[in-house]
Amino acid sequence: MCNSNNTTYFEFVKTFQYIVHIPTFILGLIINSVALWIVCFRLKKWTESTIYMTNLIFSDIFLIFSLPFKIYAYQVGGKWHLGPGFCEFVESLYFVNTYGTILLITLIALDRYIAIKHPFLARTFRSPKKAIITCTVVWICVWSASIPNYIQSGTKRPNEICFSNFSAFWETGIIPMSMVTIFLIGAVTVIFCSIQIIRTLQRVDEEREDANMNTSMNIISSNLVTFLLCFTPCHVAMLLYFLAKNCYIANYYLASLRVFLQISQCLATINCCLDAMYYYLIIKEFWKSKVKSTEETISTHTS
């Protein structure tokens, strides 16, 4: 295992965490709280889109909750005083909900792809009940993946260390490569679905243009941008850092790659705020369909 004792990046990363995480925590908490209130008290109707949206909101809120403790852990270094059990919990919140978000955005892209590209299959594969089951499976899978964090916590690093010194994490390569694989599968899926949806909608003549179709294009585009912008850098950094840690890349780059990894992980949390575009479009789509349904009902009664 290659190693590096270069610690000159610490102060820069600390400052960068403050600059990114504090605004993300404040804005993300406001955005997701408002979105959750609208879903619970204003929409009052569970469709596939609102179910995925609600799960994404909870994923973002859990991730946001972990951010102050991640900042604290990094600032105090090896002097974590909140207990190993709580450390394992907030670590799990951070990593579980990062990949929960990745999987949920992937499901949103798939759901829109089936609805637009294969409308007849949508009657079979799409329903609120199936969306709930799918999201439940996602949560079970990602939380199950955090079990090793609890089992191995006593052996992989000292109990007073939190959000750092993941020696076992980098030694085996199983966990980082699994994370990169999940991201790659999600990225390929989201890109494929997005391209197919955009091509399908572009073939629709302007005279037959459907407002719901335009909203769908905006939804899938916002998901694509959020996914690639937030999660690509950190997974590239993870792969490169793993290669450097295991001597596949010159040891000289180890410290720089760790800086890249820390910074890109900070930037990945911005998705908690960027998801607001998706929430806005889903709510807009819902209200449009509700108004249209109301107008059709009034027209039926008056004719």
Domain topology for 10-290: Rhopdopsin 7-helix transmembrane proteins (1.20.1070)
- Compute CA distances 265 → 154, 231, 245, 261, whole Å: 25, 8, 18, 6
- Compute CA distances 136 → 125, 140, 166, whole Å: 16, 6, 29
Mean of pLDDT values over 35-52: 87
Per the listing, tokens 């105090």 go with 76
pLDDT digits (tens, 9 = 90+) for 194-206: 999 888 887 764 5
**pLDDT of the residue at 303:** 54
pLDDT digits (tens, 9 = 90+) for 16-30: 989 999 999 999 999
Per the listing, tokens 């008290």 go with 41
pLDDT digits (tens, 9 = 90+) for 219-251: 888 889 999 999 999 999 999 988 888 888 877
pTM of the model: 0.87
- Side chain identity at residue 234, one-letter code: C
- Side chain identity at residue 47, one-letter code: T
Q: How many CB atoms lie within 10 A of CB 258?
A: 20
Q: In this structure, are residues 111 and 189 in contact, taking their beta carbons and an 8 Å threshold?
A: no
Q: Taking phi first (over 0 means left), then psi (-120 to 50 degrees means alpha), and beta for anything else, what does residue 44 get?
A: left
**pLDDT of the residue at 207:** 46
Q: How many CB atoms lie within 10 A of CB 105?
A: 27
**pLDDT of the residue at 281:** 83
Mean of pLDDT values over 77-87: 76
Q: How far apart are CA 300 and CA 294, in angstroms?
A: 10
Percent above pLDDT 90 for the chain: 37
pLDDT digits (tens, 9 = 90+) for 113-168: 998 888 888 888 899 999 999 999 999 999 888 877 666 655 555 555 777 766 55
**pLDDT of the residue at 2:** 63
Q: Across 108-117, 161-170, 172-181, 208-217, which has the greatest mean pLDDT?
A: 108-117
Q: In this structure, are residues 135 and 101 in contact, taking their beta carbons and an 8 Å threshold?
A: no
- Compute CA distances 208 → 36, 203, 212, 214, whole Å: 34, 10, 12, 11
Structure token digits, residue 117: 């590209």
Domain locations along the chain: 10-290
Per the listing, tokens 């073939």 go with 203
**pLDDT of the residue at 221:** 86
Encode the chain in three state secondary structure. Answer: CCCCCCCCCHHHHHHHHHHHHHHHHHHHHHHHHHHHHHHHHHHCCCCHHHHHHHHHHHHHHHHHHHHHHHHHHHHHCCCCCCCHHHHHHHHHHHHHHHHHHHHHHHHHHHHHHHHHHCHHHHHHHCCHHHHHHHHHHHHHHHHHCCHHHHHCHHHHCCCCCCCCCCHHHHHHCHHHHHHHHHHHHHHHHHHHHHHHHHHHHHCCCHHHCCHHHHHHHHHHHHHHHHHHHHHHHHHHHHHHHHHHHCCCCCHHHHHHHHHHHHHHHHHHCCHHHHHHHHHHHHHHHHHHHHHHHHHHHHHHHHC
